[in-house]
Structures are given as structure tokens and as C-alpha cells.
């Protein structure tokens, strides 16, 4: 099985052949994967070198001429370094494009904080109108990338990760999907992207409703309200990025009913550890055993 | 497409009066506006963009990156008929589309919203690439920046890439009024030339010199015109 980033290369390669409106902008990262595409489409596969501000600015300029830019590099260099360019070169200009990141929160733990971006979704949350897809499997990544490329002039962020669930689920690019249904009044646990398997393992035997999110913005208010019912709502969010990123969105969705929300995710404090993804998942309390303890204590 | 010859009846001599509609003061003589002569020569004689074709894919693009103090820009756009001259009076007010930094979604003929420095040249690079990718090899892309704006690192990313890529349809005008605190050893044009651009430095008040610089051939290279104007007060 390929990983999401490899799938991004194959999906985008086909999409560039099929849709003359698409143009890909790179800053060296993943360039090797797209060399054949650059041969076929030299004017629509653009590598600007290690220049991330220019990366986003060029994407914005392409959009001004009517193309749909796909802009890609690691999340830390795509969202954090040129953040003002994202805000102004797309949002303020009234144009759109597709930002596709790799490396997620800690896909390369031995690489350290410079290559980690647990805050990317929270940062994009300060801007208006961005759709955020967080696939949990390479097949889901393929479906969501295709949707993003075809989404007119929408502003779309697709967050790819080395972490993956064992099997894909159907994704519709809209909102929350019920994966396990609890009894009346049961608490709701929302699992985002690649953390679904851990959440299902952690909540085995508990009376909870598990919702699966691969599109987190816009937040699916109606689905959460429907799952929570009319009474008091207990909600746990399990996100593969900064803990609490979506608590505001969930609270807004539940503003009409009494509710409690527990936001689980990657901790804010810098771990200053190397090692493996599994070790980092455990360190942030996102492995099944830790999740079971934390969710159980909350309920 | 022909040159922008649509005649609204306004002349260069009228620009001071149009600027006064925004500032409310005649003391803002044209000479006080560092960009005025460059903008006039571009819109009067060089850019192939008029109100009638301002949405057409084949038009030339002018991107004002130096969005601060846009009164000269608004005056020239109004003089060329992009919006009614009467609209100048509301400059900066709540109900006016004319802000202290331009917004492309509010004003006809404005290609980018600007203000934050260092965004226009990267957007211009992307625009030149986007036009080329669509087979639109004719339209020229122009971007106006200031000498102090050249301090922004994003511009150096754009200059280095555009030179290496040989973006022939890309043009940059640098208004040089010695605003940069640390200046540019060896002159601004040398920075562009070192990156593979064609570059020329001219008197930014001399309309004939500006026209000659704007229309100089530059095969296979992007082109920079450094327009020297009196030192910023």
C-alpha cells in the first residue's frame, strides 16, 4: 500500500493530464515524484526552488489568471512560514486554490520540531472560507484531492499524513459520518482522520456514538447536533493536530444545548524527543490505552 | 489589441486637481507623488488595458504592489475612465471603495489588493506563468514596487526565480526615492542584472525617458525599470 503523499503524486499526475485548468507549484519538496509530469506539462508543473513565500505568491498569481493552483510542500513550510501570503494572496484577492501538505504533526519524529506542524489547522482557522480535509487513509486522500481539484475556485487545504487507519471509509467531502452508534443520550466521540482506529479501539464496549471526520472545516454542526440529541451533550474531540483545535467549532454547534467538551490532540508543549510516530502518539496520549483512560475519566 | 487611446478628456495636467479631490488640498502637487509620472506614462502610452477590456484575458496586467499612498493611482485610473471622477471625493470613507490601500474586489481595473509590502512581485510572477500556461503569450505583466519595498525577502525570491526562468513578459518598475534605510550598494539595477534581468535606470519624472525604458526590448529576460525620483522628505 502506498502512503498518502505517494497517492498525491499519482492522483495529481492524472489530474494534470485531464484538467488543463490545474497547475502544480512546488518548492523542491516532492519534485522527484513529479519529474515525468514536468516533462509532459512544463508550463503547469512549476518548481520555484526553496522559496516558500514565492510558492504561495505564485499560486495566487496563477489563480488571478484563472488557473486552479495546487500548492504543495511540508505543512510547516506551506502554512506556517508563508502564512501572510495565504491570507493575502488568496483570501484578500478573492481567489482560491488547493494547498496540499505532507508531514502533518509529527510524521518524521526524528526530524524534530522544524518539520512538525501540529498548529496548521488552528492557524488556518483564523482565516475565512477555507475547507479543510484530513484524510485517514490513502484512498480517502485520493477522493478528497479529486474533490478539491474540482471545487471551482474554493480555498481548500488537504492535510496528508504518514499515519493511516487500516481500512478506508467512504468520504463525501462534507462532514461527519456515524461509525458506531451509542444508545439514547450516549456521549459523542469525534475521531478525525488517521486517529479513527485508535478511537474505535479505545471506546470498544463503551456506550458512545463515534463520528468520523475527514472534512473538519466547515464544521458539520448539524451532524453533531443530531448525534448529541436534544438533552445534555458530552462530546470528545480526538484530533491528530493541536488539542482543542475544534472545540470552538463544536461549542458553536451546541450553543443551544448544555454541553461539555473534551478536546484531545497533540500537546502544545514541545516534546524535544525524537524516536518514532508511535512513541509520539503515546506521548501525546493518543494511543488506544491513553485515550480509553482519558475518555473514561471524562465520561 | 491597440494602445490605450480611449480619451476621457483628462490630461497629465489634470491629475493634480483629481488628487486634490481626495486630499482636499492643492499642496499635494503632482510632483509630490513619487509614482505619478510612471503611472501616467504607463496608462497613457504603454499598457494595453482600458475600461472596456479590463476583464479580457488578453489585457496587459498592472499590479500596484506599493499600495501605500494610492492617490496618484486612483487619479490616473479615474482619468482613464476606470471609474467616475466623482468617486474620488469619498477617498478613505466608509462608503467609498477607495481605501488607503486598494482592494481589487472593490475597484474596476485594480488587479490586486495591496498594502502589505512584498506581495505584488510574487503575484506578478505567478500571473506571468499563468498567462503563459494558457497560451496567452502577448499580454505583458507589470508590477510597481518601491525601493524600500525591495527590502522584503519575498521580492528577492521572486527576482531570483524570474531571472532564472527567463520570464520575458514580466516587468518591474522600482520607484527609487531613497526610502530604504540601508540603501543598495551598487544600485538597484545591479541586483536585477545579477539575477539575469534586463535593467535600466531613468529619471522618474522624464516622460520620454520613461517611455523609452518601458518599451526597450528585452528578449528572453524579465525587465526592470528603476525610476529615480527626488529623495523622500
What ipTM did this prediction achieve? Answer: 0.96
Contacts of A147 (CB under 8 A, 6+ apart): A133, A173
Does A244 map to a domain?
yes
Residue A166 domain flag: no
Q: How many CB pairs below 8 A link A and B? A: 102
Distance CA A205, CA A235 (A): 17
Among B61, B147, B180, residue whose Cα is nearest residue B109: B61
Side-chain-side CA neighbours of B48 within 13 Å: the count stands at 13
Of A159, A187, A210, the domain-final residue: A159
pLDDT at A31 over 70: yes
Whether residues A8 and A130 fall in one domain: yes
Within a domain: A226: yes
Q: What confidence category does residue B1 fall into, taking pLDDT thresholds of 50, 70 and 90?
A: very low
Mean pLDDT computed over B138-165:
98
Query: In terms of DSSP H, where are the helices of A19-137?
Result: 35-40, 52-64, 75, 83-86, 120-124
Out of A110, A131, A159, a domain closes at: A159
What is the predicted pLDDT for the residue at A230?
A: 85
- A143 and A201 fall within a common domain: no
Task: Tell me the nearest-neighbour CA distance from A27 into chain B, angstroms.
Answer: 11
pLDDT category of residue B8 using cuts at 50, 70 and 90: confident
In a domain, A190, yes or no: yes
**Angstrom distance (rounded) from CA A263 to CA A243:** 6
What's the pLDDT band for B6 if we cut at 50, 70, 90?
low
Does the pLDDT at position A160 exceed 90? yes
Q: CA-CA distance, A155 to A131, in Å (whole number)?
A: 6
The answer to whether A170 contacts chain B (CB < 8 Å) is: no
Identify all chain B residues contacting A56, using CB atoms and an 8 Å cutoff. 122
- A80 within some domain: yes
Judge if A240 and A124 occupy the same domain: no
Q: Which three cell numbers stand for residue B207?
A: 516622460
CA–CA min distance A114, chain B (Å): 20
Confidence band for A6, pLDDT divided at 50, 70 and 90:
very high
Residues belonging to chain B with any Cβ–Cβ distance to chain A shorter than 8 Å: 57, 61, 103-105, 111-113, 116, 118-119, 121-134, 136, 153-154, 157-158, 160-161
Same domain flag for A50 and A188 = no
The answer to the question of residue A215 being in a domain is: yes
Residue A250 lies in a domain: yes
Closest CA to B129 of B168, B157, B160: B168
pLDDT in tens, B180-223: 999 999 999 999 999 999 999 999 999 999 999 999 999 999 99
Q: Which CATH number is A189's domain given?
A: 3.40.50.920
Within this chain, do residues A153 and A206 fall inside the same structural domain, yes or no?
no
Whole-angstrom distance, CA of residue A145 vs CA of residue A75:
16
Same domain, A244 and A276: yes
In chain B, the domains with their CATH numbers are 12-228 (3.40.50.970)
Number of domains in chain A: 2
In this prediction, what percent of chain A has a pLDDT beyond 70? 100
CB contact under 8 A, B125 and A57: yes
B54, B105, B122, best to mutate vs chain A, most A CBs in 10 Å: B122
Residue labelled with grid coordinates 522527484: A32
Q: Which residues fall within 8 angstroms of residue A57, CB to CB, at 6 or more apart?
A: A82, A85, A89, B119, B121, B122, B123, B125, B126, B154, B158
Query: Distance, in angstroms, between B13 CA and closest chain A CA?
Result: 33
Domain extent for A140: 4-159
Q: How many other CB atoms are there within 10 angstroms of residue A257's CB atom?
A: 13
Give me the percent of chain A exceeding a pLDDT of 90. Answer: 98
* A51 with B128: Cβ contact below 8 A: no
Please report the pLDDT score of residue B3 as a whole number: 45
Q: Which residue of A has its CA nearest to B125?
A: A58
Q: Which CATH number characterizes residue A27's domain?
A: 3.40.50.970
Choosing from A125, A159, A193, the residue where a domain stops is A159
Q: pLDDT band for B2, please (50, 70, 90 cuts).
A: very low
Do A13 and A146 have their domain in common? yes
Range B36-60 average pLDDT: 97
Rounded to an integer, the average pLDDT of A44-55 is 98
- State residue B24's pLDDT score: 82
Q: How far apart are the first and last CA of chain A?
A: 37
Q: Could you give the CA distance from residue A206 to residue A186 in angstroms, rounded to a whole number? A: 9
**Locus of grid cell 544600485:** B187
HSE-CB at A237 with a 13 A cutoff on CA atoms is: 25
Q: How confident is the model at residue B26 (pLDDT cuts 50, 70, 90)?
A: low
pLDDT in tens, B84-143: 999 999 999 999 999 999 999 999 999 999 999 999 999 999 999 999 999 999 999 999
Strands (E), chain A: 22-26, 45-47, 68-74, 97-102, 130-133, 155-159, 176-180, 187-192, 208-213, 215-217, 233-242, 259-266
Check whether residue A188 and residue A62 sit in a common domain: no
* Domain match, A105 and A244 both: no
Same domain flag for A110 and A257: no
Residue A66 within a domain: yes
| pLDDT beyond 50 at B4 | no
Torsion of CA B105, B106, B112, B116, to 10 degrees: -110
Q: Between A53, A61, A93, which is nearest B104 by CB?
A: A93
- Is A34 found in the same domain as A144? yes
pLDDT in tens, A91-139: 999 999 999 999 999 999 999 999 999 999 999 999 999 999 999 999 9
Same domain, A135 and A183: no
- Spatial neighbors of B88 by CB under 8 A, at least 6 apart, are B18, B21, B22, B74, B75, B78, B98
Test the B interface: residue of A20, A21, A57, A88 with most B CBs within 10 Å: A57
- The mean pLDDT of B49-64, rounded to a whole number, is 97
Amino acid at each position: 500500500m502506498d502512503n498518502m503523499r505517494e497517492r498525491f503524486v499519482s492522483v495529481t499526475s492524472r489530474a494534470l493530464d485531464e484538467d488543463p485548468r490545474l497547475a502544480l507549484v512546488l518548492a523542491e519538496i516532492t519534485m522527484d515524484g513529479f519529474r515525468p509530469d514536468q516533462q509532459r506539462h512544463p508550463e503547469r508543473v512549476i518548481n520555484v526552488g526553496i522559496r516558500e513565500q514565492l510558492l504561495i505568491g505564485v499560486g495566487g498569481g496563477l489563480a488571478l489568471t484563472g488557473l486552479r493552483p495546487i500548492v504543495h510542500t511540508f505543512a510547516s513550510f506551506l502554512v506556517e512560514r508563508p502564512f501572510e501570503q495565504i491570507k493575502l494572496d488568496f483570501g484578500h484577492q478573492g481567489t482560491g486554490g488547493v494547498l496540499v501538505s505532507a508531514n502533518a504533526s509529527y510524521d518524521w519524529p526524528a526530524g524534530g520540531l522544524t518539520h512538525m506542524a501540529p498548529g496548521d489547522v488552528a492557524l488556518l482557522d483564523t482565516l475565512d472560507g477555507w475547507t479543510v480535509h484530513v484524510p485517514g487513509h490513502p484512498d480517502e486522500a485520493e477522493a478528497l484531492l479529486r474533490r478539491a481539484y474540482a471545487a471551482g475556485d474554493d480555498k481548500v487545504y488537504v492535510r496528508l499524513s504518514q499515519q493511516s487507519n487500516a481500512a478506508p471509509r467512504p468520504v463525501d467531502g462534507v462532514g461527519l459520518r456515524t461509525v458506531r452508534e451509542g444508545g439514547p443520550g450516549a456521549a459523542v466521540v469525534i475521531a478525525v482522520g488517521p486517529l479513527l482506529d485508535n478511537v474505535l479501539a479505545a471506546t470498544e464496549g463503551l456506550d458512545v456514538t463515534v463520528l468520523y471526520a475527514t472534512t473538519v472545516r466547515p464544521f458539520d454542526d448539524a451532524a453533531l447536533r443530531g448525534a448529541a440529541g436534544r438533552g445534555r451533550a458530552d462530546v470528545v474531540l480526538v484530533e491528530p493536530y493541536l488539542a482543542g483545535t475544534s472545540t470552538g467549532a463544536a461549542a458553536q454547534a451546541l450553543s443551544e444545548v448544555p454541553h461539555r467538551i473534551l478536546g484531545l490532540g497533540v500537546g502544545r508543549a514541545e516534546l524535544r524527543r525524537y524516536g518514532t510516530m508511535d512513541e509520539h502518539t503515546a506521548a501525546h496520549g493518543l494511543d488506544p490505552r491513553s485515550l480509553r483512560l482519558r475518555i473514561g475519566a471524562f465520561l | 489589441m491597440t494602445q490605450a487611446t480611449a480619451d476621457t478628456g483628462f490630461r497629465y495636467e489634470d491629475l493634480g486637481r483629481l488628487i486634490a479631490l481626495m486630499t482636499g488640498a492643492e499642496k499635494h502637487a503632482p510632483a509630490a507623488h513619487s509614482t505619478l509620472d510612471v503611472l501616467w506614462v504607463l496608462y497613457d502610452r504603454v499598457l494595453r488595458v482600458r475600461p472596456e477590456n479590463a476583464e479580457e484575458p488578453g489585457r496587459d496586467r498592472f499590479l500596484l504592489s506599493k499600495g501605500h499612498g494610492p492617490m496618484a493611482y486612483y487619479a490616473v485610473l479615474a482619468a482613464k475612465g476606470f471609474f467616475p471622477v466623482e468617486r474620488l471625493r469619498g477617498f478613505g470613507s466608509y462608503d467609498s471603495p477607495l481605501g488607503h490601500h486598494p482592494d481589487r474586489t472593490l475597484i474596476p481595473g485594480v488587479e490586486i489588493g495591496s498594502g502589505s509590502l512584498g506581495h505584488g512581485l510574487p503575484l506578478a510572477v505567478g500571473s506571468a506563468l499563468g498567462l503563459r500556461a494558457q497560451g496567452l503569450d502577448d499580454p505583458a505583466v507589470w508590477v510597481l514596487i518601491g525601493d524600500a519595498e525591495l527590502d522584503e525577502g519575498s521580492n528577492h525570491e521572486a527576482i531570483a526565480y524570474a531571472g532564472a526562468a527567463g520570464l520575458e513578459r514580466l516587468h518591474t518598475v522600482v520607484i527609487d526615492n531613497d526610502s530604504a534605510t540601508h540603501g543598495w550598494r551598487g544600485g538597484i539595477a545591479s541586483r536585477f542584472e545579477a539575477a539575469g534581468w534586463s535593467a535600466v535606470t531613468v529619471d522618474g519624472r522624464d516622460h520620454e525617458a520613461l517611455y523609452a525604458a518601458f518599451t526597450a526590448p528585452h528578449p528572453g529576460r524579465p525587465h526592470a525599470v528603476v525610476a529615480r525620483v527626488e529623495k523622500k522628505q
